[in-house]
């Protein structure tokens, strides 16, 4: 039976705390700590933990801690090139998702309402504390298995692209705190096409595949993606702005999303230079400024668009590097990410980002570029 726990309290699974419905997925292992999860998974995953010297005693229908739960320094700083991933499994394969995307993790709900004539991967809808969210059968979508054991399965409730979606998985195991430099991009045949594996984490005994959840949701609901942005929204521009005079460097690890962004920007009239992760973008920029004939970065690149989640170097670390460099700091930097929220906007600002906008609002992204281009031209 799963425990409901907060701030060192122990209660039966029927107890609700005032102001929050407390839930847990049981004892998840952590590289340094053993976290518990409540209504806001991200806060507790990073802040409320049991020290690694503590241990857990499973009782009948409850969990008891032998040490007091308290704050730790696990809250990730902006621009440190670190992340935390939740490891989960489907069949015999191990996958991962960024903690920043996860709202909470629950046991498979009792009342999932089927949706007639929906996509085959849609398990149904569930009312989760007053909010109706779709549940995607991830094993079915990945071709792993068609049926799930509802009694033992979990739903990872996510928030990204300004929407909430639940993904049904077989097991949820642990959290890893990593540097993006430890995460590799797929290579060879795995990297061909627009696959849904965007990164790989290697351990001595196994590999964790990080999935492109934005692509998965757009495959199921094509209307939610960037590809449906009105062409008129992209093509409309200030009368005096010549977009072809500006080159934009785009850092994005998803081939699927990069193809859409680059295509839309080029159709709008901008010149585009691409990089498949933050490190490649940084190496490209530094190669320019170290060139024998370098005079100004504006001769080569005029603006930067960056995702946040990328192997080797994330977008916040990339922007911090740019703003710390005397020859690059004049570059306007825009964060274009599915993770944008009020909290993330503050993190973007703290590393020097000049603007941020949530995927899939590519029309708004073009508007931001136009604003910076007008400013660079002296016409704003």
**199 forms bridges with which residues in the sheet?**
210
pLDDT tens-digit profile, the chain (380 residues): 223 223 333 222 222 222 222 233 343 444 433 333 333 444 444 433 322 222 222 222 222 222 222 333 334 566 778 888 999 999 889 999 999 899 889 999 989 999 999 999 999 999 988 899 999 999 999 988 777 888 899 999 999 888 899 999 999 988 888 888 888 887 755 554 567 888 899 887 788 999 989 889 989 988 766 655 555 456 666 567 999 999 999 999 988 899 999 999 999 999 999 999 999 999 999 999 999 989 999 999 999 999 999 989 999 999 999 999 999 999 999 999 998 988 889 999 999 999 999 998 999 999 999 999 999 987 66
What residues contact residue 224 under an 8 Å CB cut-off, 6+ apart?
161, 163, 217, 218, 360
pTM: 0.71
Q: Strand order of the sheet with strand 207-211?
A: 29-30, 171-179, 82-90, 93-98, 207-211, 197-202, 183-184
Domains, the chain: 76-220 (2.40.50.180), 225-377 (3.40.50.2300)
What residues contact residue 204 under an 8 Å CB cut-off, 6+ apart?
none
Whether residue 75 contacts residue 47, with contact meaning beta carbons closer than 8 Å, is answered with: yes
Q: Could you count the other beta carbons within 10 Å of the beta carbon of residue 205?
A: 5
């Amino acid at each position: 039976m799963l425990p409901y726990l907060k701030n060192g309290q122990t209660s039966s699974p029927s107890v609700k705390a005032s102001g929050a419905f407390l839930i847990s997925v049981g004892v998840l292992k952590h590289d340094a700590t053993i976290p518990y999860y409540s209504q806001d998974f991200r806060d507790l995953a990073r802040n409320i933990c049991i020290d690694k010297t503590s241990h857990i005693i499973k009782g009948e229908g409850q969990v008891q801690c032998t040490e007091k739960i308290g704050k730790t320094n696990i809250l990730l700083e902006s621009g440190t090139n670190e992340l935390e991933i939740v490891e989960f499994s489907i069949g015999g394969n191990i996958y991962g998702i960024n903690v920043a995307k996860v709202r909470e993790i629950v046991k498979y709900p009792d009342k999932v309402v089927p949706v007639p004539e929906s996509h085959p991967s849609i398990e149904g809808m569930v009312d989760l504390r007053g909010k109706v969210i779709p549940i995607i059968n991830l094993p079915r979508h990945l071709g792993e298995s068609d049926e799930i054991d509802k009694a033992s399965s979990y739903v990872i409730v996510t928030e990204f692209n300004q929407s909430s979606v639940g993904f049904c998985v077989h097991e949820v195991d642990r959290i890893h705190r990593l540097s993006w430099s430890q995460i590799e991009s797929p290579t060879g045949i795995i990297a061909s096409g627009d696959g849904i594996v965007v990164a790989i984490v290697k351990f001595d005994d196994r590999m964790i595949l990080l999935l492109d959840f934005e692509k998965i949701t757009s495959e199921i609901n094509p209307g939610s993606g960037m590809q449906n942005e009105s062409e008129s929204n992209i093509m409309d521009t200030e009368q005096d702005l010549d977009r072809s005079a500006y080159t934009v460097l785009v850092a994005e690890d998803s081939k699927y999303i990069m193809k859409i962004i680059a295509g839309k920007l080029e159709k709008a009239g901008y010149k585009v230079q691409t990089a498949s992760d933050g490190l490649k973008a940084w190496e490209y920029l530094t190669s320019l400024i170290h060139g024998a004939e370098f005079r100004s970065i504006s001769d080569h690149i005029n603006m930067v668009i960056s995702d946040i989640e990328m192997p080797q170097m994330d977008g916040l670390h990339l922007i911090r590097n740019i703003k710390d460099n005397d020859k690059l700091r004049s570059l306007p930097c825009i964060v274009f990410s599915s993770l944008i929220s009020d909290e993330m906007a503050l993190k973007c600002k703290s590393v020097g980002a000049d603007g941020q906008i949530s995927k899939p609002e590519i029309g708004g992204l073009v508007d931001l570029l136009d604003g910076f281009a007008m400013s660079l031209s002296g016409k704003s």
